[in-house]
């Protein structure tokens, strides 16, 4: 085990040096492919190795007996430190991709490229990622009920909070919509909402959970996505709902601190 833990970073560093020579040759998601591999493959693997190594040292090699709380504190602090490093790795990979593009094309539009990452790639990944995370949490609670004593009033308030959170989350999705001609950001979001709700509904019929506090996390997320699905339907069918959401969105986006999104994509005009 100890030998394997020492060999893993060695192979990682060697592979990193090997693939580095292919910088600037291909792109993936409008990032340089090698920088993408560094950011989303090698760096996460290194961080998993680092957390495993620390855990191995504290559990097997340390002569000091640590409690579960102390282990959690050490792991949390170390993970936070790794997050800070990873944030700078991401910034380096993005700016490195920009520089490689300027070397290939002196007239390369850096602003358009950065806005694509800002308005599209990051928004889509964050929104879909949060939906997947909430779905996983709901399914975990469905198969592993909470061991808690919760009154009916508290449970009903949690369900009501799910409805309120769903409304806020849907408005949040509308606010992140770049509103680019020829691109349907909200169509993708509504599709993701529908798929997530369908999974929650299917698992409900399969598992048949009680409407009780033991499954409060599941019901919170269920009501949250139910509300988002209802708003998705009415924002498409109802002109009054469309006018209401447009008023809310425009009142936020017209503020000086919000800024205006530039049109990134060219549309073909039919003659």
- Summarize pLDDT for 71-111 with one digit per residue, the tens: 888 889 999 999 999 999 999 888 888 888 888 888 888 88
**What is the per-residue pLDDT across 184-225, written as a single tens digit (0 to 9) for each?**
888 899 999 999 999 999 999 999 898 988 999 999 999 999
Q: How confident is the model at residue 151 (pLDDT cuts 50, 70, 90)?
A: confident
Q: At residue 150, does pLDDT exceed 90?
A: no
Q: How confident is the model at residue 271 (pLDDT cuts 50, 70, 90)?
A: very low
Helix 122-143, helix 152-176: angle, nearest 10: 160
Q: In this predicted model, which residue has the larger pLDDT, 264 or 107? A: 107
Give the pLDDT of residue 165.
94
- The answer to whether 103 and 24 are in contact (CB under 8 A) is yes
145 alpha carbon, distance to own chain's centre: 25
- Mean pLDDT taken over the chain: 83
Q: In this predicted model, which residue has the larger pLDDT, 271 or 222? A: 222
Give the pLDDT of residue 261.
66
Question: In terms of C-beta density within 10 A (0-12 exposed, 13-18 middle, 19 or more buried), how is residue 18 classed?
Answer: exposed
């Amino acid at each position: 085990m100890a030998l394997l833990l020492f060999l893993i970073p060695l192979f990682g560093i060697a592979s990193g040096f090997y693939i580095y020579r292919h910088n600037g040759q291909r792109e993936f998601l409008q990032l340089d492919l090698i920088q993408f591999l560094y950011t989303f493959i090698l760096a996460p693997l290194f961080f998993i190795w680092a957390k495993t190594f620390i855990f191995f040292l504290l559990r097997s090699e340390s002569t000091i007996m640590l409690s579960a709380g102390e282990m959690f504190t050490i792991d949390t602090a170390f993970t936070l430190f790794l997050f800070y490093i990873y944030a700078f790795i991401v910034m380096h990979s993005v700016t490195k991709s920009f520089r490689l593009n300027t070397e290939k094309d002196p007239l390369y539009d850096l602003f358009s490229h950065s806005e694509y990452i800002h308005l599209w790639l990051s928004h889509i990944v964050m929104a879909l990622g949060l939906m997947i995370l909430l779905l996983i949490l709901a399914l975990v609670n469905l198969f592993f009920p909470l061991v808690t004593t919760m009154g009916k009033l508290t449970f009903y308030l949690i369900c009501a909070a799910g409805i309120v959170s769903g409304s806020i989350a849907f408005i949040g999705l509308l606010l992140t919509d770049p509103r680019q001609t020829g691109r349907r950001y909200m169509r993708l979001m509504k599709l993701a909402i529908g798929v997530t709700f369908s999974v929650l509904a299917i698992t409900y019929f399969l598992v048949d959970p009680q409407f009780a506090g033991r499954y409060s996390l599941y019901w919170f997320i269920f009501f949250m996505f139910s509300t988002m699905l209802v708003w998705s339907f009415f924002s498409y069918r109802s002109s009054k709902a469309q006018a209401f959401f447009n008023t809310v969105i425009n009142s936020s986006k017209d503020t000086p601190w919000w800024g205006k999104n530039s049109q990134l994509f060219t549309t073909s005009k039919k003659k």
